Amino acid sequence: MSVCLQTGCITAMLLFLQSGAATRGPALLESAGTTITENTSHAESPTNCRIIYLGFVGALEPPNNKHSGVVQIRETLQGKAYPDVCANSFSPYTWMEGRDWLMKHFPAHGGALTPQELQVAPRVILVGHSMGGWAMMTVARELRSRNIPVELTIQVDSVGITDYTIPRNVKSAAIFHANDVLMLLTTKHLRREDPSGTTILEDVTVAGAGHESITRDPRIRELVLEEVERLRKTFAEGGLGAHSAASGNESAAQK
């Protein structure tokens, strides 16, 4: 099969899967013979979660795929060295379950969080691979509607029609893309809803990486762990609450 034909087939398949992900994802996976693996995250108490890591794997992967860098980061953050971090990973087909898991760590009322609530709320890190990049951006936009900041988003060979623009509640963003058969389909050249409020940390084409192996690029892991340590340091210095409250007021003023 030629590269062009292969690319066209993969493109058509992923776009079809994306179009039905929100409402037909589980049924599509079952009909394709793919097993939806239940997440096996460690027991966690919302009161202990100062930092939340939410990852989304690719469209054709189970949420606990041990070969995915998204899952490997999750497993690291579930270790004893990170008692203040709650980490989980989901399939993009079940992105609403991921969103709901994350929102369990925030006040349950509808509408935007107040500056006072933001002072004590957990800090959020989002990572998404392939169609998981689309799922991640969808969650980020839903958090924007609640006035919840996102400290860091990382898109890894992201695939999606609506994942080009970083919402204004994201403080820092990065994107990694492979130079492989899907290069004509994956997202590049991110746009920022608020260029003054969002910093693009990395925009990298990873040499020699494929669509699957790129998730294990060590720079992705380093960005996440560095952000966790930065947040921990700021917590310890007592400066994060005031900063988040200010961000909350600014975001509310922009609506």
Rounded-to-integer distance, Cα 160 and Cα 200, Å: 19
Residues of the domain holding 162:
3-254
How far CA 238 is from CA of 56, 121, 140, 143, 234, in Å, comes to: 31, 14, 26, 24, 6
Whole-model pTM: value is 0.80
Rounded-to-integer distance, Cα 51 and Cα 76, Å: 14
DSSP, collapsed to helix, strand or coil, labels residue 206 as strand
CATH number, domain at 239?
3.40.50
Which residue is it, tokens 């990049």? 133
Long-range contacts of 138-144 (CB under 8 A, 24+ apart): 138/95, 138/99, 138/162, 139/54, 139/95, 139/98, 139/99, 139/102, 140/166, 140/167, 140/169, 140/170, 141/167, 142/99, 143/102, 143/169, 144/168, 144/169, 144/251
How far CA 178 is from CA of 13, 19, 21, in Å, comes to: 19, 23, 24
Query: Going residue by residue through the chain (255 aa), what tens digit of pLDDT does each one get?
Result: 443 433 344 444 444 444 444 433 433 333 333 333 334 344 444 558 999 999 999 998 999 999 999 999 999 999 999 999 999 999 999 999 999 999 999 999 889 999 999 999 999 999 999 999 999 999 999 999 999 999 999 999 998 878 889 999 999 999 999 887 676 678 877 899 999 999 999 999 999 999 999 999 999 999 999 999 999 999 999 865 544 433 433 433 343
> What total of structural domains would you count in the chain?
1
Per the rule left: phi > 0, alpha: psi between -120 and 50, beta: everything else, 129 is beta
* Cα four-point dihedral sign 199, 201, 207, 210: negative
How far CA 252 is from CA of 93, 126, 142, 193, in Å, comes to: 31, 22, 14, 15
